[in-house]
Amino acid sequence: MTRYCLFDLDGTLTDPETGIVGSMRYALSAIGFPEVKHEQLRAMIGPPLQDGFLRLGVPRERVDDAVRAYRERYTAAGMYENEVIAGIPAVLEALVAGGWTLAVATSKPAVYAEKILVHFGLDGFFAYVAGATLDGSRRHKADVIRHALDLLGAPPEATVMIGDRGEDVAGAAECRVRCVAVTWGFGQTAEFAAPGVIAVAGTPERLLDVLSQAASGAPAAE
C-alpha cells in the first residue's frame, strides 16, 4: 500500500517566482552577464541552480561566482518573496490525517528549504526535508529522492513523488518511484509524458483524489 509521499518544493508547494527570478537577475548582473528575458529565467525554476546558469550560457568558470551572488540576495530576501499554493495546506493536512508519511524532495539546498517551510508554517507536515547540499555534490532530483527514501526507510513501490517539472518525473523514474505531475507550477505538459507518471493533476484537490486512489490500490481516474 502506498503510504509515503515526496513533494517537490518550488512550483509544487509554493510559488517562488518573484524571489528566484529577482535573485537570478541580481546574480547575472553581479558577474557582468547580459540581461536575460523573464521567460528564460522563469524556465530555470526547478532544476539545480548550477545547471540553470550553465543553460543560460554563463561560462563554467563563472558559475560559482553567480551562485554566490544569487545566494547573497536569496538568503537576504528572495526566499521569502514566495507564497504557498492555495489549497496545499489542506492537502497536506488530509494526507497526514490519513496516515501518510510526507517528506520534501527538492533540488534547492535543504538549509533554505527548511527555512521556507518554517516561515510558511508547513514544516510540521513533513517527517524530513531532503534537499541539495550547498556544495552541489547532491543536487539532481534522483539523488535527492534516493536520499529521502534512505532516510525514511521507504520502499520505492510504496512511494509517490509529486512535482511540476520534467526533472521530478525523470528522477522518480530512475528511483523506481511513481510520480504525479502537477500543472500549477513551471513545467510544460510535454515534460510529463513518461513512464511512471500515474496522473497529471491540475488542482490540489485533484492531487488529493489521485493520492487517495493510489493508497487504495485503485488506478487513477482520468
Q: How many Cβ atoms sit within 10 Å of the Cβ of residue 174?
A: 15
Q: Which of 8, 15, 143, 164 is catalytic?
A: 8
Cell, residue 164: 511540476
Any catalytic annotation for residue 8?
yes
Question: From CA 147, how far away is CA 133, in angstroms rounded?
Answer: 11
Question: From CA 37, how far away is CA 133, in angstroms rounded?
Answer: 28
Single-letter amino acid, residue 132: A
Q: How many Cβ atoms sit within 10 Å of the Cβ of residue 120?
A: 16
Beta strands in the chain (DSSP E): 4-7, 14-15, 83-84, 101-109, 128-132, 159-163, 178-182, 197-201
Catalytically active residues, by annotation: 8
